[in-house]
Amino acid sequence: MRFSIDFIRAFLILLGKFFPIWGGIAILISLLGLLIAQIEEGLTVTEALYFAWVTGTTVGYGDLVPTLEITRLLAIVVAVLGITFTGIIVAMAIEAAKIVVESNTSIQNFKKEVKERTRQRAAIKDRSSEEGD
């Protein structure tokens, strides 16, 4: 439970630090979705945002499909931005987990114990191979 709380705290701190990057990409994805709605007739603002984020997250349900060449190209740009956005969020989550693991003493003690047991097993294996020679 403590790990989860510390992870969320670290992740939120990282979200704040990198807000200009991921926030800018999120705004750009949304604006491109609205641009697609302006070009494609019949898309509401809600549908345009939905399309942009479904495309950006690479889920792509296929229920809304751009029909014009320019909007298809914009959809590709949205998808590339979405992959970048997702990569940044995943990188922040990994960094948050790394920070928590490195600062958690019980995990550090566990790692030390694993190293010690591995060293002991290697020593036993070395002794048994020397006796066998």
**What amino acid occupies position 49?**
L
Contact 17, 76 (CB under 8 A): no
pLDDT for 98 equals 92
- The pTM assigned to this predicted structure is 0.74
CATH code where residue 32 lies: 1.10.287.70
How many domains does the chain divide into? 1
Cα–Cα distance for residue pair 120/45, rounded to 1 Å? 64
Residues 6+ apart with CB under 8 A from 16: none
Domain range for 79 is 2-104
pLDDT for 132 equals 63
- Is 46 domain-assigned? yes
pLDDT along the chain (133 residues), means of 10: 88 95 96 94 91 92 90 95 96 94 76 84 80 64
Buried residues in 17-52 as b, exposed as e (16+ CB within 10 A): eeeeebeebbebbbebbebbbeebeebeeebbbbbb
- Is 112 domain-assigned? no
pLDDT for 133 equals 59
- Is 126 domain-assigned? no
